[in-house]
Structure 1
Amino acid sequence: MQNADVIEIGFLCYPQVQHATILGLSDLFRLAERESVTSGDCEHRPRLSLTQWHWSDQQQSLVSFESEHMSFEEKHMAFEEKRLSSAADAPTPALIPDLMILPPTLGDPMPSEQAQRYAPGLRQLHGAGCRLAAICGGAFILAESGLLNRRTVTVHYQHAECFQALFPEVRLDLNPLLIDSGDILTTGGVMSWVDLGLHLVAHYWHIDTMLAVARVLMVDPPGRQQRYYQVFSPRRQHGDVAIEKVQTLLDEQAIEPGGGSISLAVLAQHAGLEVRTLLRRFQKATGMTTTEYMQRLRVGRAQEQLQRTRLPVDRIAWDMGYRDVKAFRKVFTQIVGLTPNDYRRRFLVS
């Protein structure tokens, strides 16, 4: 943390980091500064210092370098090395950025044994007042520090099962694309850096500057939800053979055009279980009831139809087994966060 006129934003660079995020956010912040000058918003025009932080095997610490001080009129590059050791000593304020961003990875999330090396430094930064922002897979690194325990965060929905198994004390909400808890921010999705960047522009500059940047880039202001993009992927690796048989039967029923519902008695007989046992084991294995499971299967198929065809919504509802179109619209909106018509307008493949 430098002074009131300069805001330092650091990027944690690690093997397989997505460099496009770092470059994209740097450009987005430059654009924000330009727009703030154009609009005459001098009161909300901070000067940014962007730093990249790396793990140093030699020093066993986080080291930052290449500090880029930005202003619209002039820009200069200055080499500036800072070191945040893994020792327990409190770092001096001059070493601490205002915000540290953990970008996403291009591959699988970083293994725990590698991510743990960053944990002491991240705890030091947070303890000294630095805000932390994890984008998509960056949350795996941040979670190793323990700073996400007993918090509600978001990650990419495809990483959710793995993340929850590794960090059971962290609460996941996969509906929002961005969660801001004040001192810690998390986003789901590799490209959610755009949403984070605009969110930070509104915070450090002004909401009018953020809206101007969004218009120039022709992107939506922050507010998208992750569930718009989710595709239902049911749990299958639970090891309960009887429940797997029920899931297969439900999957087959869901792809039958106009297929109706299957009674619990039929499902229980198919699994060789009593109804109460079926309900208990199905909930444990899949995390949802048989009704919720079937609804998500049908809504997933409806999403495909809305994206790929111009069939009327009433026809799609009928094909999904719904005789009450209003009920279909209600269930679809509850699960996806958009009405069927809004979903089609947004995602129809021309």
Structure 2
Amino acid sequence: MTAKTDTPPCLEIGVLVYPGAQSAAVHGLSDLFAVANQVVNELGASELPMIRVSHWQADAQGQLQVIHDSLAQSPNDVRVLVVPPSLGQAPDAQLLELYRAQLCQWHGRGTVLASVCIGVFFIAASGLLDGRPATTHWNYAQALAERFPRVRVEASQPVLDDGDLVTSAGLMAWTDLGLRLLERYLGATVARETARYLAVEPVAIALPGTLFTPCLDHGDEAVLKVQHWLQGNGAREASLASMAECAGLEERTFLRRFRAATGLRPTEYCQQVRVGRACRLLEFTRRSVDQIAWGVGYQDPGAFRKVFQRLTGVTPSDYRKRFAVGG
């Protein structure tokens, strides 16, 4: 991957074409993003980037190569790499190993990794999901948990957006994932209008502050290392000293570079990560608000409630009433 060009504004989304990958998902995602480009054009939203779709395949050495590109005349700069589902069984260890190093390398450069159904096995095999939550098709949830016991499998969630890693559940969940990515990068209106054009169910529109979109393509490797660390541990007990140590920087230098790279102070960033985790717990568990506050790293539930309401505009209890699954 090379540095991104200035014009035209572009958001490149790659799709991994591995042996057995579902063709409907590979080409369906390409069509969905093509429709989104039409929607942006019809809305006259010239400030939004055009989506560029590229398909990637591993050579014999495991290096990913472009086999299709909707905008081939400019250098590639993949912001999101989607691992599609397969109609076959869960991929074997040999196939997963072929892609492991490349997925780790791309993630380390700031590429968001996303999966549909058993595509999550590729990300899990890279070790990037260790200690992290992930979802997959209910039929493969037990196999995922057994093969990768360090992954926190949460199969009840259709799409689980954890910042730098996004997983989705059903075999046809590529539509949900594609629309979620549109909401994340191009906004709710584009996602909604794309769903309407395709006559599919739109994604539930997230409240402000509940769908955290961290900036990962800023090019500061030290800051990116800290961001991955925060996403991995849920930003629990993340002190300034520990973050600076992770970055290998003096605290004052770290503060300056972190804000320049992400647009947020470290404390603000941690609050976003914690509130995002809390939202999922409010939606999919019956834990009390106090238990959730403690679970995401707040010793004072009152302080958690204040931060939650400031970022989302609603109280945790009101959020649960509105969005709880089966509630």
Q: Same fold (TM over 0.5)?
A: yes
TM alignment of 1:202-281, pairs within 5 A? 202-223=183-204
Whole-angstrom distance in 2 between the partners of 1:146 and 1:95: 25
Question: Which of 43, 67, 70 in structure 2 is aligned with 1:68?
Answer: 70
Equivalence for 2:173: 192
Per-residue CA shift, 1:124-159, capped at 9, x if unaligned?
000000000011010111111000100011011110
The answer to whether 1:48 aligns with 2:47 is no
User: 2:5 aligned with 1:3, yes or no?
Assistant: yes
Gapped regions of structure 1 (runs ≥ 5): 70-77, 81-93, 225-335, 340-350
Query: Could you tell me how far 1:173 is from its partner in structure 2?
Result: 0.9
Q: 2:58 is matched by which residue type in structure 1?
A: W
Establish whether residue 132 from structure 1 lines up as the match of residue 113 from structure 2: yes
Measure, in 2, the Cα distance between the counterparts of 1:218 and 1:31.
12
Deviation at 1:95, TM superposition (A): 5.5
Q: What is the aligned partner in structure 1 of residue 98 from structure 2?
A: 117
Distance (whole Å) between structure 1 residues aligned to residue 145 and residue 5 of structure 2: 39
Distance (Å, rounded) in 1 between the aligned partners of 2:204 and 2:154: 15
Query: C-alpha separation between the residues in 1 aligned to 2:47 and 2:37?
Result: 12
Whole-Å separation in 2 of the counterparts to 1:198 and 1:60: 30
**Percent same amino acid at aligned positions?**
33
1:1-350 map, 5 Å: 2-3=4-5, 5-44=9-48, 46-57=49-60, 59-69=61-71, 78=72, 96-223=77-204, 337-338=325-326
The SS at the match of 1:191 is coil
| Partner Cα separation in structure 2 for residue 28 and residue 95 of structure 1 | 20
One-letter amino acid matched to 2:11: I
One-letter amino acid of the counterpart of residue 20, structure 1: A
Any stretches of 5+ residues in structure 2 without a counterpart?
206-323
Q: d(CA) in 1 for partners of 2:140 and 2:68?
A: 32
* CA apart distance, 1:103: 0.3
Q: Deviations over 1:5-59 (max 9, x none)?
A: 1221111111110011111111111111111121222222x123221111111x4
Larger radius of gyration: 1
TM-align CA RMSD: 2.1
* Contact 1:2–1:97, Cα closer than 8 Å, also in 2: no
- Tell whether the 8 Å contact from 2:134 to 2:153 is kept in structure 1 after alignment: yes
TM-score relative to the length of structure 2 = 0.59
Q: Measure, in 2, the Cα distance between the counterparts of 1:133 and 1:60.
A: 19
The alpha-carbon deviation at position 62 of structure 1 amounts to: 1.8
Shift of 1:118: 0.5
Q: What amino acid is the match of 1:43? A: E
Structure 1: 4+ residue segments shifted above 3 A: 336-339
Deviations 1:255-282 (A, max 9, x none): xxxxxxxxxxxxxxxxxxxxxxxxxxxx
C-alpha change, 1:137 and 1:212, in structure 2 (3 Å) is: same
Task: Give the number of equivalent residue pairs.
Answer: 205
Displacement of 1:3 after TM fit?
3.2
SS at match of 2:47: helix
* Residue-by-residue CA offset, 1:270-322 (whole Å, 9 max, x unaligned): xxxxxxxxxxxxxxxxxxxxxxxxxxxxxxxxxxxxxxxxxxxxxxxxxxxxx
Distance 2:143 2:22 in 1: 20
Deviations 1:169-196, CA, capped at 9 Å, x for gaps = 0001121100011111000011100011
Partner-residue secondary structure (3-state), 2:78: coil
Q: Is the 8 A contact 1:96 1:128 kept in 2?
A: no
| Distance in 1, Cα, partners of 2:186 & 2:132 | 27
Distance in structure 2 (CA, Å) of the matches to 1:6 and 1:212: 20
Q: State the alpha-carbon separation in 1 of the partners of residues 4 and 95 from structure 2.
A: 30
Tell me if structure 1 keeps the 8 A contact 2:54–2:69.
yes
User: TM-score, normalised to structure 1's length?
Assistant: 0.55
